[in-house]
Amino acid sequence: MAILVFGKTGQVARELAALEGTECYGRDAADLETPEICADLIYQRSPDAVINTAAYTSVDNAEEEETRATIINGAAPGAMACACAALAIPFVQISTDYVFDGSGDLPWQAEDQAAPLSAYGRSKLAGEQAVRAASGTFAILRTSWVVSAHGSNFVKTMLRLGAERDALNIVADQIGGPTGAAEIAGACHAIARHLIEDPIKSGTYHFAGAPDVSWADFAREIFAQAGLNCAIEDIPSSAYPTPAQRPLNSRLDCSATGTAFGIIRPDWRETLTHILKDLGVRS
């Protein structure tokens, strides 16, 4: 089985590169700002399935670069999905909790109305719509709060700041599920294989770590496992303004993913333990 992966250096792409049958392509081979090149690569390689991990992920910069973000996060996945539909192969697209407005306190269902608060969220929603419009075999996998030993993410930022400071102010009113890049990669790989055998399972799914937690409590667990003595002061999002508004409620109902593919929510505390070990923080 050959699975073509868009993305090479990102957190999820690096984990997918270690899985059987994957071929990862970076910007040098397929620049998402030129969607037709992405489609051409699929036609040239003619894989058994395609997974797109590549994206414009700078949430705050997207407020000033929405057109560019929408090409990368919207038009490019749409072109990929159309090529996959023409070849009758599955396409797996990673999306985000940012397509929702973060209201309420119940986990978001896959079929709930999307209402993004930010340019980044709108660009990712455009990608979802383009993938569905291609009318092929697909899975849109929404996830949240991605962490790993690679790249830039909350775990690595907290480890750095926790070692430098005695106390930190961390947002406590945003709630979601931290999700390991390795677990996302495994889920995408498994879903692609399922869809090859059973395309009727096409649809939109959620996948996030459990249990749901605030950023502040996530930071506390990072410091506890890393043995860092850094106090956490809970603050509201209003005390830490950013160019792009973040959703307060990023809880995702992942039950349909378990029913369709047998993929259950991973415990992010165990994921954190593995990340810290990979970083040399834990033995």
> For residues 134 and 85, is the Cβ–Cβ distance under 8 A?
yes
The reply to whether CATH 3.40.50.720 applies to domain 3-153+177-211+250-267 is: yes
Instruction: Extract the tokens encoding 34.
Output: 């030129």
**Residue that is written with structure tokens 């415990």 in the block:** 267
Angle, helices 119-133 vs 76-87, to 10°: value is 20
Report the alpha-carbon distance of residue 83 to residue 136 in Å, rounded: 9
pLDDT at 105: 95
- Which pLDDT value is given to residue 1? 83
In the chain, domain spans: 3-153+177-211+250-267
Whether 276 contacts 225, CB under 8 Å: yes
State the catalytic residue, choosing from 25, 120, 205, 240.
120
Residue 25 designated active-site: no
Give, for all 283 residues of the chain, the pLDDT tens digit: 899 999 999 999 999 999 989 999 999 999 999 999 999 999 999 999 999 999 999 999 999 999 999 999 999 999 999 999 999 999 999 999 999 999 999 999 999 999 999 999 999 999 999 999 999 999 999 999 999 999 899 999 999 999 999 999 999 999 999 999 999 999 999 999 999 999 999 999 999 999 999 999 999 999 999 999 999 999 999 999 999 999 999 999 999 999 999 999 999 999 999 999 999 996 5
Give, rounded to a whole angstrom, the gap between the first and last alpha carbons of the chain.
36
Could you report the per-residue pLDDT of 63-118, keeping only the tens digit for each?
999 999 999 999 999 999 999 999 999 999 999 999 999 999 999 999 999 999 99
Residue of 283, 118, 83, 90 whose CA lies nearest to 199: 90
Instruction: Give the whole-angstrom CA distance, residue 27 versus residue 38.
Output: 10
Distance between CA 126 and CA 43 in Å, rounded?
A: 23
pLDDT of residue 111: 97
